[in-house]
Structure 1
Amino acid sequence: MWLQVSLSFFSFLFCQCQAQSQASLRRFNDPAGRCHYTFTVPSPTESSCSGSSTKQELTGVLSRLTLVEALVSRLVDGADGSSGAGTAEESLQEAYSQVTRERDQLQQDKEHLSRQVQKLQTSLAELDREAESLRKRSCQQTEASEGALYNYRPGKDPVHDLRNDAYQEMKAEVTELPASRLLPEGNLSFTGCGELLSVGNPVLHRKADSITGKYGVWLQDPDPRGPGFTNQTVWRIDAVGTDVRQLFMYEDMEQFSRGFPSKVLVLPEPVESTGATLYRGSLYYQRRRSRTLIRYDLVTESLASRLELPHAGFHGQHPYSWGGYTDIDLAVDERGLWAIYSTTKAKGAIVISQLDPVSLQVKESWETKIRKNSVANAFMVCGRLYTVASYTAANTTINFTFDTATGEGRATSVPFKNRYHYNSMVDYNHAHRKLYAWDNFHMVTYDVRLGRPRHGAK
């Protein structure tokens, strides 16, 4: 590159020299014998040489040489830049190739996901068809089971035989009937003992303020005995914990709502779950991790009697659907004290036993045809068992009833609301004609309406 620039420069000078007609080239030897060449060009403007003009001429030559050097530098830098541009171009080419590869991979992933979506859609369609088939089959089975329930008598059918077609689990999906169809004429003001016709909306009285109050028991004694409390006194047990023994007493519902107990009793044995009840001045409950029933006298504040419930499942063998070790559920109604549970012989079916309120001895028992773990809870009204279909559904039903007077059970559909979506306790109080419930930290009551008993019922 430097050679080309130099040749160009001297060619330029040579061409300029040729343009001057007076230019001459002379060669001579100096005294030392060395050869000298002299190139002469006359100045067109100056008549004679002077030192200053010579300096100006040299300055001009130097300026031109400086310009030449700058031009050469730019040419050299341009050559280096073209090399950098080539490197940048190679980098861009490599990046483009990588983006292309990633695009192709994404396209493959998209096609794979599309195939998976198609498979899932196909599976969903198959499941929909299967569900529709099961719904149709369920309707047929329900009709058959209802017919069997109407003809049921204790001792006739082997209710513990799971292969018997008449043994059908009651489901929560039952058809609801309008309340107007459930209320016979003339029963709107009926106050006697009869069938459950409707349950009102839940009324909130208190909300627990700690985790121990997620579920528990709260009641009023429908038939109190002894001094110190009445049927307005409220009793409460927080059932969350490994050693539940505290029984809180409140003078009335107002004090209960404010949350300040007037007395706290310590029970002699720990409580199992939410199956306790109150009756005639005593608290009845199941001892933790056992089938032992305990009667605790509220007046003397002492253990009055205890007895093992024969063959009863306990601590998770036959609980309600929500769990909570609700194997034995004690209840009270117009007919007295009851135990709702299951046994090994019944194989998960609900057994109802009427108990002596003093000794806790079993007076009589009935086996039903509904699995205990298929319902959320149960209670007794006028000698009839009623079961709640779901403990979480906001709008569920009381879906089954069994009459101990006739030994007959049947499906029913009385609307019931779980406003707080985790109902762990439902008990009936015949003095106030209300249901008491503990629904996810909330203590609520429901008004109930009873109708006249069916024709032929005792």
Structure 2
Amino acid sequence: MQNVKASHCACELTNVEKPFPKDKLLSIETSAAECNKNIQLAKVSEEASLRLGLHKRLLQLQDEVSVLEQEDDGGLYGAVSLRIIELELAQLLQLINKLNETNIMQENLGRNITVNVLHLRKELKQLEKFDHMQIIQKLEENKGLQRSLAQCQEELQATPPPPTPPPGSCPHGRLVQVDGPKSSSITEHDGYHYHYGSWGQDPKPSHGKEGWYWLVALTKSDTHANYVRLYTSLNALMVGKGHTDVSIDYYNPNTHTIQGPNVVMYGDALYYGCYNTPSVCRFNMTSRKVTTAALPPKSGVNNKFPFCHLGYCYVYTDLDLMTDDSGVWLAYTSAENYGNVMLCQVESGHVPKLGRTLKTSLYKRSATNTFMACGVLYATRYVDKETEEVFYSFDTRTGVERYDLDIRFKKIKANVESLNYNPSDLKLYAYSDSHVVQYDAIFERGI
């Protein structure tokens, strides 16, 4: 038998590519773990706790100052109370300093983490060069497709926004409670406090002004003003910083000057009573132009039919401009209607005009304010220096009037010179003896 030797074939494989830097990947993983470890959740929790504690102490101090202002002890305990408040302020200052130190630490930590993350991203980009099969690129494309698919599904399943309800058909139901005050601050113009004015948010703001607030203070003998002050946030308004003044007319006063505190803003336009003229003025905040809508003949203006209580009247409150879900409304009266409130909607257009007038049995001088919510007119009256009451309603859809609401709320000061409802956040905006005050409007379907 013949032996056959088995033959072997061998070849040499040469890899022209650079070897994958496994050590570099491990180094990146280690650095990423260190970044996660450096984000100190305890510090973040400490900052949140400090903020919450500071907020509560400020509210407590506000209550103590309010009690001190209302006390009349003949100076017996005033010095002691002031000393206690002085100690509270010192403790608040310590809290603020500690919060500032924590914020500085967080900023430094954030900067360091940002630098590390940018470095890691750069190194990962270099490692992507070894992905010859473009797996990472395909994964990113798949993620993009998944996001687009999810967005399409959301759009298909999204519920269309409900149509604007007709007047009197409120989706929230009737008003049952006014809760607050939720926030308050004293207004200051050039070092002086002005008792009359109004403030709030535009329920239909122009693009980019969704979070803005406006303020009008009657700076001329509590009767008229010539500009509106704009703030980019509620905090800015509360501290009185970072505002922009928009003048209506440089000649003050004239027929375009604001008269009376019952002013509102809607659709980037300011609505108010024209100075010494039986008309409603609309000031366009963009074009800076004024257009007017004339009142019916013999309408009460120039302090003939103001809001009143117990022998005291709010001067030049003959016209009350209001906003609700459907737009701008006007409450006014005349001698022909025996001083009872009349109501109409201010229709928008190139030139505003007044819609159909509805007559009520509410005697205007028996109320201190009116406001609209879903086509329902509500009226308030003075109970005492600490309490106001929503006592009346008129449904514009059914014509039903009620005098038995008995919805009481606490006041910051004795008088409320203007009060208006904002349908976008369901809040009431009050101007009370130089103070801007915010309340929650609670409806029966929201409780």
Aligned counterpart, 2:334:
343
Q: Does the CA contact (< 8 Å) of 1:249 and 1:263 recur in 2? A: yes
Deviations 1:408-439 (A, max 9, x none): 10112111222211111100000010000011
Asked whether 1:257 is paired with 2:270, we answer: no
Q: Does the CA contact (< 8 Å) of 2:269 and 2:282 recur in 1? A: yes
Distance 1:372 1:250, change over 3 A: same
User: Pairwise CA RMSD of aligned residues?
Assistant: 1.9
Question: Following the alignment from structure 1 to structure 2, what is the Cα–Cα distance between the partners of residues 252 and 317?
Answer: 37
Structure 2 unaligned spans of 5+: 1-169, 250-255
Farther off after superposition, 403-412 or 392-401: 392-401
Q: What is the 5 A alignment of 1:58-207?
A: 192-207=171-186
Deviations 1:5-26 (A, max 9, x none): xxxxxxxxxxxxxxxxxxxxxx
Q: What is the 5 A alignment of 1:20-419?
A: 192-209=171-188, 210-225=191-206, 227-230=207-210, 232-241=211-220, 244-268=225-249, 269-303=256-290, 305-311=291-297, 312-321=299-308, 322-358=313-349, 359-390=351-382, 393-411=385-403, 412-419=405-412
Q: Does the CA contact (< 8 Å) of 1:249 and 1:264 recur in 2? A: yes
Question: Following the alignment from structure 1 to structure 2, what is the Cα–Cα distance between the partners of residues 327 and 381?
Answer: 20
Query: What amino acid is the match of 2:346?
Result: L
Q: Does the CA contact (< 8 Å) of 1:423 and 1:439 recur in 2? A: yes
Question: Following the alignment from structure 1 to structure 2, what is the Cα–Cα distance between the partners of residues 443 and 416?
Answer: 15
Aligned to 1:445, what secondary structure does the other structure show?
Answer: strand
Question: Following the alignment from structure 1 to structure 2, what is the Cα–Cα distance between the partners of residues 234 and 391?
Answer: 30
Distance 1:377 1:245, change over 3 A: same
Farther off after superposition, 285-294 or 211-220: 211-220
Q: Does the CA contact (< 8 Å) of 1:401 and 1:409 recur in 2? A: yes
Query: What amino acid is the match of 2:220?
Result: G
Question: Following the alignment from structure 2 to structure 1, what is the Cα–Cα distance between the partners of residues 307 and 379?
Answer: 10
Q: Does the CA contact (< 8 Å) of 1:248 and 1:261 recur in 2? A: no
| 1:331 CA displacement | 0.4
Question: Following the alignment from structure 1 to structure 2, what is the Cα–Cα distance between the partners of residues 357 and 295?
Answer: 10
Q: Does the CA contact (< 8 Å) of 2:263 and 2:271 recur in 1? A: yes
Deviations 1:269-328 (A, max 9, x none): 21111111011111111111222111111122222x212111321011111003211000
Q: Does the CA contact (< 8 Å) of 1:333 and 1:428 recur in 2? A: yes
Aligned to 2:412, what secondary structure does the other structure show?
Answer: coil
Question: Following the alignment from structure 1 to structure 2, what is the Cα–Cα distance between the partners of residues 362 and 293?
Answer: 9
Q: Does the CA contact (< 8 Å) of 1:272 and 1:286 recur in 2? A: yes
Deviations 1:157-180 (A, max 9, x none): xxxxxxxxxxxxxxxxxxxxxxxx
Percentage of identical aligned residues: 25
Question: Following the alignment from structure 2 to structure 1, what is the Cα–Cα distance between the partners of residues 323 and 285?
Answer: 17
Query: What amino acid is the match of 1:198?
Result: Q
Q: Does the CA contact (< 8 Å) of 2:385 and 2:413 recur in 1? A: no
Aligned counterpart, 1:27:
none
Q: Does the CA contact (< 8 Å) of 1:208 and 1:214 recur in 2? A: no
Deviations 1:162-209 (A, max 9, x none): xxxxxxxxxxxxxxxxxxxxxxxxxxxxx9332101000113332123
Aligned counterpart, 2:126:
none
Question: Following the alignment from structure 1 to structure 2, what is the Cα–Cα distance between the partners of residues 424 and 379?
Answer: 12
Distance 1:327 1:392, change over 3 A: farther
Aligned to 1:202, what secondary structure does the other structure show?
Answer: strand
Query: What amino acid is the match of 2:377?
Result: L
Question: Following the alignment from structure 1 to structure 2, what is the Cα–Cα distance between the partners of residues 348 and 405?
Answer: 22
Question: Following the alignment from structure 1 to structure 2, what is the Cα–Cα distance between the partners of residues 294 and 212?
Answer: 26
Distance 1:334 1:276, change over 3 A: same
Deviations 1:239-280 (A, max 9, x none): 131551021111111111221243111113211111110111
Aligned counterpart, 2:414:
421
Question: Following the alignment from structure 1 to structure 2, what is the Cα–Cα distance between the partners of residues 301 and 362?
Answer: 22
Aligned to 1:254, what secondary structure does the other structure show?
Answer: helix
Question: Which one has the largest radius of gyration?
Answer: 1
Report how many residues are paired: 260
Question: Following the alignment from structure 2 to structure 1, what is the Cα–Cα distance between the partners of residues 331 and 316?
Answer: 13
What's the TM-score once normalised by structure 2's chain length?
0.56
Structure 1 unaligned spans of 5+: 1-190, 454-458
Q: Does the CA contact (< 8 Å) of 2:331 and 2:343 recur in 1? A: yes
Q: Does the CA contact (< 8 Å) of 1:273 and 1:326 recur in 2? A: yes
Question: Following the alignment from structure 2 to structure 1, what is the Cα–Cα distance between the partners of residues 365 and 219?
Answer: 20
Deviations 1:200-250 (A, max 9, x none): 01133321235452121111101112x4522x1011111131551021111
Query: What amino acid is the match of 2:359?
Result: E
Aligned to 1:436, what secondary structure does the other structure show?
Answer: strand
Question: Following the alignment from structure 1 to structure 2, what is the Cα–Cα distance between the partners of residues 259 and 397?
Answer: 29
Q: Does the CA contact (< 8 Å) of 1:275 and 1:330 recur in 2? A: yes
Question: Following the alignment from structure 1 to structure 2, what is the Cα–Cα distance between the partners of residues 330 and 200?
Answer: 23
